[in-house]
Structure 1
Amino acid sequence: MLRSAIAARAAIRSGQWQGHTSGLAAGHVQGNLVILPSAAAHDFLRFCQRNPKPCPLLAVSEPGVPQLPTLGADIDIRTDVPRYRVWRHGELVDEPTDITGLWRDDLVSFVIGCSFSFEQALLEAGLPLRHVESGGNVAMFKTSIQCEPAGPFRGPMVVSMRPFKPADAIRAVQVTSRFPDVHGAPVHIGRPELIGIRDITAPDYGDPIHVADDELPVFWACGVTPQAVVQAARPEFCITHAPGAMLITDLLNNQLASL
């Protein structure tokens, strides 16, 4: 397993690693990615500010600059994500592993906090994570919870789900509430139909996760939300990460924990 952020990014940049990044470079902050033309960037910035639970901003680049020095001195956003998604007018048109050929001088990169960061704290608290144990990706669902709009950007909140026994669910709330920069406490516990999820066995993104009879599904706001919003807002061009395939930064998870 790739243990350092620099080694993980090098493996991703070279094409040696193209899968999901859960469990890579343990202890390091991972980020969701949205890249938009500068003409749309101001509205998306306002969208993130109005929706800090699903879209907690870690960094915003200058137009046309692929580096993000506050997140890692060697980061190149064009090569350092295992798999990207390319959107045109809200339609997914490609999933490349390198976007150097698509780069433009007007593109602005937004890096948004990821729940993979608080998973380390959950594991350290002795709380099991089934998708980590199985080597899979976390289950993610579109919900009926609507985000606060900004300009053309509007749409449903996406949530990630992890099952816990009731006592562990309480502890999970306590642990993750200390990490507001990576989604913080859950937005919903139990009864998925109350937030518009009809089938808990069929996630919109990621891998299915079994919920046992003595467990509760616990739902956190998710940084895949912008992808659902892009589908609704239909900007002329957008690049995101593929769900589960994150940017690994040099920041440490414990740097984001509140006291």
Structure 2
Amino acid sequence: MSASDPVGPADPAAPAAPAQPAERTAPAAPATSASPGRPAVGVGPHPEPWPTDPRLDPDLLAHGDRRNVPDRFRYWRRDAIVAELDRATRNDLHIAIENVEHDFNIGSIVRTANAMGVAAFHIVGRRRWNRRGAMVTDRYQHEHHHPTPEEFIAWARSAGREIIAIDNVDGAVPLEHTPLPASSVLVFGEEGGGVSPEILRAASAIVGISQFGSTRSINVGHAAAIVMHTWVTQHVDVPRDLHR
């Protein structure tokens, strides 16, 4: 088995076909509520005649789109959404998550990675992980698997990515005063054990989050969100229009 075993969509470095504007037609019918008192999710079947944009999924046009995606992706095929993310909004950031004890936080971390435009995520250790917390966002991400820390380290070095371990251990530098490398892979450990000794030794830096309360640590899913967003604020030209 190779050091980097892709298990998700194609390589994000591969060029995507240029997007074509969707044909204008009648607005989609709003979704109906699945049960009384609960808000509707998504949109209903698209009015005919249907648009001819090849990115659109005929099944979704016919039956409605209930997925948790932005409105601009309504009725799009999954592979078309992945290609558009690769073309337009992926950031040059990778993350890695160690999976020794099937940590339930992995799904939450992957969902945040999707929101932050992370190029790819890596699972180190067990291949199987609890995907419930990802809320299906893993289907739009590039996923790679490394059976051991050593194989992950070998991949990172061959890819020219600096390993940045996120752990509040002795010798860690505060995130609040640390520039994160642009071409890096942020590594998050499990809730209890933290980052493995092998990866800590291989890391260019060990970064911790400053805390001011009585708890020894914060949830690893929350920590991952803080660090990924910090990387974004350091390296991404964020538009002033939140809903661009």
Q: TM-score, with normalisation over the residues of structure 1?
A: 0.27
| Higher radius of gyration, 1 or 2 | 2
Question: Would you tell me which structure has more strand in proportion to its own residues?
Answer: 1
Q: TM-score, with normalisation over the residues of structure 2?
A: 0.28
By relative contact order (CA 8 Å, sep 6+), the higher-ranking structure is 1
